[in-house]
């Protein structure tokens, strides 16, 4: 797998991060060298190994089905760029 | 046309087409708190009043799973006779949208909590088994309001993070009717289990509908389109009808179907593409590093299994066996747990035939008229049972019972009290009845003569006149007996 300018363009669009042309060139180089480093793992034969999602032995801890947070809207909406009648307001997004 | 045979085929210019449908149902778990936070899940609350720092995706917040939601997913899986996976993994499904503050939805991709199962449908042409592919747990998104302002979108995050069970069927459905039955059956199973309230108006049950078409007899699947987020059975059926027709027209013109996501416009009754191709979603799933794998042992599953309530299919079988009901009668009763509970309350101690007739006949009609569910029935099962007993032991006639029933709808009074108060007790005293009969025969001497000369049909007239004379109180069986003797 290798990364070119188009890959950077696609990823930056999906992440909604704008990247300049100069940055793109640098990122192509950086990401390719990271991938190359990781690709060393391919030398190992993993045919008979079950893929794992986590390397730690931890399992999920669980909570009881209890409501502990009661109406924090003042606190929450403090972070809104714009608000109106207790709603977050954002530029119109409609698909 | 024979309605006992499957017949949903669409005739095109080039021949008959079959519609292939698979559903992804999103069912909100009936829990107090959200899947990964301890905020409330109540529908219709003030905007953003049920949002924690986790639900708003503040940096550094860590999700902790709600054990109850896991139990509900397992319980639903057992209700679908499905394989429960003792190890499952939560993944991040990445996409950018204003009502998804995390920038990803926590879902289960490769390793869902529940694997393959089945749902049995009762269709007019027999039972049909619909395969379940999987059930996984995921977060719901917030809600966007686009119609409040010309340039702004309003966001309410109350729904953000509420637990959803996504139930994916195999592409086994073949008509809008089967889709309707499938949704109803799934909803009824979840309501019996108490895992999802199935309220489609409030959005706690919604579905993505996958539709493709193929020539009758073909074994290959056509290219499918996914119609997103349809929230009523009627709209699902309309969307399928429109979409199948659209695809058939394209194929018959020699064109290809693009595999795409479409939305159903309920006002125009049509589907249209949701987004352009170059914006096609690339979800970049990967295991959520905040959440280690979900593991439990078989004893956890067995514990839930032990406490499972009786499910619709089992209940139907039992009702048929215990009460000698027809498959149709049992089917009507089990479609709603409250209805079958109500029926059993009555039938366990009263006449079964009368019980079924009064519940699915008079009571259903009355409830329909006043727009109430059986749970809100103005007549309690206890009082309806008393009314049925009054008929059974000949205290009142069926005709009087209907009058009493009408009165009970208004005030749920004890039918015994109504009957005594209004003096409606059936007249079964032979002497009293004979007096009335004598009077009727005397007043209709000409008819008696006609009857005796062979006009048998007049017997009904005499019975009717006697009952009328008694103001409906005469015991019809006794009237019959006495009249026969008097007229012979």
Q: What is the pLDDT of residues B179-236, one digit of tens each?
A: 999 999 999 999 999 999 999 999 999 999 999 999 999 999 999 999 998 999 999 9
Segment B9-59, tens digit of pLDDT: 999 999 999 999 999 999 999 999 999 999 999 999 999 999 999 999 999
More confident of the two residues B274 and B288: B288
d(CA B139, CA B125): 38
Categorize the per-residue pLDDT at B2 as very low, low, confident or very high, splitting at 50, 70 and 90: very low
- What would the two tokens of residue B376 be? 């809100």
Contact assignment for A63 to B66 by CB distance below 8 Å: yes
Could you give the residue range(s) of every CATH 1.10.10.410 domain in chain B?
A: 430-487
Cα atoms found within 13 Å of the Cα of residue B344, Cβ hemisphere only:
15
Q: Is B108 in the A-facing interface, judged by CB distances under 8 Å?
A: no
| Number of compact structural domains in chain A | 1
Assess if residue A85 is contained within a domain. Answer: no
More confident of the two residues B232 and B279: B232
Categorize the per-residue pLDDT at A91 as very low, low, confident or very high, splitting at 50, 70 and 90: very high
Least confident of B18-22, B320-324, B355-359, B426-430: B426-430
Q: Which residues contact B432 (CB under 8 A, 6 or more apart)?
A: none
Q: What is the pLDDT at residue B274?
A: 83
Across the interface, of A60, A63, A77, the residue whose CB is closest to B48 is A77
Q: What is the pLDDT at residue B1?
A: 43
Q: What is the pLDDT at residue B487?
A: 84
Burial class (CB in 10 A: 0-12, 13-18, 19+), B3: exposed
* B170–chain A nearest CA distance, Å: 26
d(CA B39, CA B23): 30
> Three-state secondary structure along B272-336?
EECCCHHHCCCCCCEECCCCCCEECCHHHHHHHHHCCCCCHHHHHHHHHHHHCCCHHHHHHHHCC
d(CA B161, CA B100): 9
Instruction: Kindly identify which residue of chain B lies nearest to residue A68, measuring between CA atoms.
Output: B38
Listed by number, the residues of chain B in 288-307 with a beta carbon closer than 8 Å to a beta carbon of chain A are 289, 291-295
Quick check: B277 pLDDT over 60? no
Q: What is the pLDDT at residue B253?
A: 95
Enumerate the residues of chain A whose CB falls inside 8 A of the CB of residue B150: 92
Segment B420-477, tens digit of pLDDT: 887 778 877 888 888 889 888 889 888 888 888 888 888 989 988 888 888 888 888 8
When pLDDT is averaged across residues B340-344 and rounded to a whole number, the result is 95
CATH 3.40.50.720 fits B430-487, yes or no: no
Least confident of B146-155, B198-207, B240-249, B411-420: B411-420
Q: Is B47 in the A-facing interface, judged by CB distances under 8 Å?
A: yes
Quick check: B307 pLDDT over 80? yes
Enumerate the residues of chain A whose CB falls inside 8 A of the CB of residue B275: 95
Enumerate the residues of chain A whose CB falls inside 8 A of the CB of residue B294: 59-60
Segment A34-84, tens digit of pLDDT: 999 999 988 999 999 888 777 888 888 899 999 997 788 999 999 899 999
**For B443-451, which contacts have Cβ atoms below 8 Å and span 24 or more sequence positions?**
B448/B487, B451/B487
* Predicted complex ipTM: 0.89
Contact assignment for A14 to B282 by CB distance below 8 Å: yes
Residue A1: give the domain boundaries: 1-46
When pLDDT is averaged across residues B380-388 and rounded to a whole number, the result is 95
Instruction: Kindly identify which residue of chain A lies nearest to residue B289, measuring between CA atoms.
Output: A54
In contact, A35 and A1? CB cutoff 8 Å = yes
| CATH number, domain containing residue A42 | 1.10.20.60
Assess if residue A83 is contained within a domain. Answer: no
Instruction: Kindly identify which residue of chain B lies nearest to residue A16, measuring between CA atoms.
Output: B96
Query: Residues for chain B: how many in total?
Result: 488
Quick check: B344 pLDDT over 90? yes
pTM of the complete model beyond 0.90: no
Size of interface A-B (CB pairs under 8 A): 137
Q: How far is CA B102 from the centre of its chain?
A: 35
Quick check: B308 pLDDT over 90? yes
């Amino acid at each position: 797998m290798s990364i070119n300018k188009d890959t950077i363009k696609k990823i930056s669009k999906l992440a909604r991060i704008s990247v300049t042309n100069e940055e793109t060139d640098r990122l192509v180089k950086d990401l390719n060298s990271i991938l190359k480093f990781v690709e060393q793992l391919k030398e190992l034969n993993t045919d008979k190994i079950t893929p794992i999602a986590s390397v730690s032995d931890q399992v999920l801890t669980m909570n009881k089905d209890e409501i502990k947070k009661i109406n924090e809207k003042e606190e929450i909406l403090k972070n809104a760029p714009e608000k109106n009648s207790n709603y977050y307001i954002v530029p119109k997004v409609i698909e | 046309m024979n309605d006992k045979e499957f017949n949903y085929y669409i005739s095109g210019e080039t021949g008959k087409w079959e519609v292939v449908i698979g559903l992804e149902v999103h069912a909100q778990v009936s829990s107090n708190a959200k899947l990964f936070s301890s905020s409330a899940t109540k529908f219709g609350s003030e905007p953003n009043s049920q949002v924690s720092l986790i639900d708003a995706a503040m940096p550094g917040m860590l999700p902790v799973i709600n054990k109850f939601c896991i139990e509900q997913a397992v319980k639903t899986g057992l209700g679908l006779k499905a394989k429960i996976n003792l190890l499952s993994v939560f993944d991040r499904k990445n996409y950018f949208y204003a009502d998804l503050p995390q920038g990803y939805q926590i879902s289960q991709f490769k390793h869902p909590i529940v694997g393959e199962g089945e749902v049995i449908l009762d269709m007019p042409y027999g039972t049909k088994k619909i395969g379940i592919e999987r059930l996984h747990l995921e977060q719901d998104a917030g809600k966007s309001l686009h119609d409040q302002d010309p340039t702004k979108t309003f966001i309410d995050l109350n729904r953000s993070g509420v637990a959803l069970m996504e139930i994916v069927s195999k592409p086994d459905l073949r008509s809008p009717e089967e889709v309707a039955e499938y949704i109803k059956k799934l909803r009824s199973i979840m309501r019996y289990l108490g895992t999802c309230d199935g309220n489609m108006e409030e959005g706690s049950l919604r579905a993505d509908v996958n539709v493709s078409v193929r020539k009758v007899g073909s074994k290959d699947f056509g290219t499918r389109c996914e119609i997103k987020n349809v929230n009523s059975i009627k709209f699902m059926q309309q969307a399928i009808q429109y979409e199948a027709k659209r695809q058939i027209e394209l194929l018959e013109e020699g064109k290809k179907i693009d595999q795409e996501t479409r939305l159903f416009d309920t006002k125009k009754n049509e589907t249209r593409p949701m987004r352009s191709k170059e914006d096609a979603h690339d979800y970049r799933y990967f295991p959520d590093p905040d959440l280690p794998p979900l593991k439990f042992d078989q004893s956890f599953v067995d514990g839930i299994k032990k406490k499972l309530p009786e499910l619709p299919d089992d209940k139907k079988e039992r009702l048929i066996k215990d009460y000698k009901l027809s498959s149709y009668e049992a089917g009507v009763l089990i479609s709603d747990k409250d209805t079958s509970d109500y029926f059993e309350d009555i039938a366990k101690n009263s006449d079964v035939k009368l019980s079924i007739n009064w519940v699915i006949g008079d009571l259903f009609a009355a409830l329909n008229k006043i727009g109430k569910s059986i749970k809100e029935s103005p007549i309690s099962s206890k009082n309806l049972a008393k009314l049925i007993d009054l008929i059974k032991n000949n205290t009142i006639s069926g005709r009087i019972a209907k009058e009493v029933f009408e009165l009970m709808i208004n005030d749920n009074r004890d039918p015994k009290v109504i009957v005594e108060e209004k003096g409606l007790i059936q007249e079964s005293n032979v002497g009293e009845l004979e007096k009335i009969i004598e009077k009727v025969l005397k007043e209709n001497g000409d008819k008696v003569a006609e009857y005796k000369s062979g006009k048998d049909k007049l017997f009904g007239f005499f019975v009717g006149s006697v009952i009328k004379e008694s103001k409906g109180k005469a015991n019809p069986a006794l009237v019959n007996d006495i009249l026969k003797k008097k007229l012979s």
